[in-house]
Amino acid sequence: MTKKQRAELVQVELEKLYPEVPIPLEHTDPYTLMVAVALSAQTTDKKVNQVTPNLFKVAGTPEKMAKLEVSEIKELIKEIGLSNTKAKNLKRMAELLLERHNGVVPQTYEELEALPGVGHKTASVVMSQGFGFPAFPVDTHIHRLMTQWRLTSGKNVVETEKDAKSIWPERVWNKLHLQIIFYGREYSPARGKGEKDFITKMMFDKQE
């Protein structure tokens, strides 16, 4: 199969599996989404979703978050990895949103990535899932699977993102990146052996 055929196979099979894809992190607006994504670094979405309801009851807006002490934020997110650093980032993020953006989450990569705890992937998720702009956030699931499917030779998620955007049309980016994440979790977990990864088998059982 050619690279184009492999990309089309991925898109077709994932659409069959996941015609509707919910956003994995629970949130109510772009701010709570950004907080949830920032918390999800090196932590499962499941764990984040267990912690954020109590956090958002107390600090569901930048104004409320900024009023808390770092120690108070840390106590609310203590079950999440890197809680000390993340607590500091969340407080400063809230303060900067108030200082620079009147408490409103900005809609540009440059402004988002200038906030503490917001890297390119987090900004991409906010742009895509929070505001509906075409974006292709790449996490480790997507990077690993695209490498496995020989759709990228990227050494990191940044290079893989560029390849993904060049392979698939912009109109499918927001949905497809979620479909790949769901597929990776269900059929090809990082710590498994990928026995259920039928898309890879379909590709490479056929002659190139």
Evaluate whether 25 touches 187 at the Cβ level (below 8 Å): no
Catalytic residues: 121, 139
Distances (CA, A) of 19 to 51, 79, 91, 178: 29, 33, 38, 11
Q: What is the pLDDT of residues 73-109, one digit of tens each?
A: 999 999 998 999 999 999 999 999 999 999 999 999 9
CATH topology of domain 30-130: Endonuclease III; domain 1 (1.10.340)
Does domain 3-22+136-204 correspond to CATH entry 1.25.40.80? Answer: no
Distance of alpha carbon 18 from its chain centroid, rounded? 17
Q: What is the mean pLDDT of each run of 10 residues along the chain (208 residues)?
A: 94 97 95 97 93 97 98 97 96 98 97 97 96 94 93 94 97 96 87 76 72
Record the pTM. Answer: 0.89
**Is 30-130 in the same CATH topology as 3-22+136-204?**
no
Domain residue ranges of the chain, discontinuous segments joined by +: 3-22+136-204, 30-130
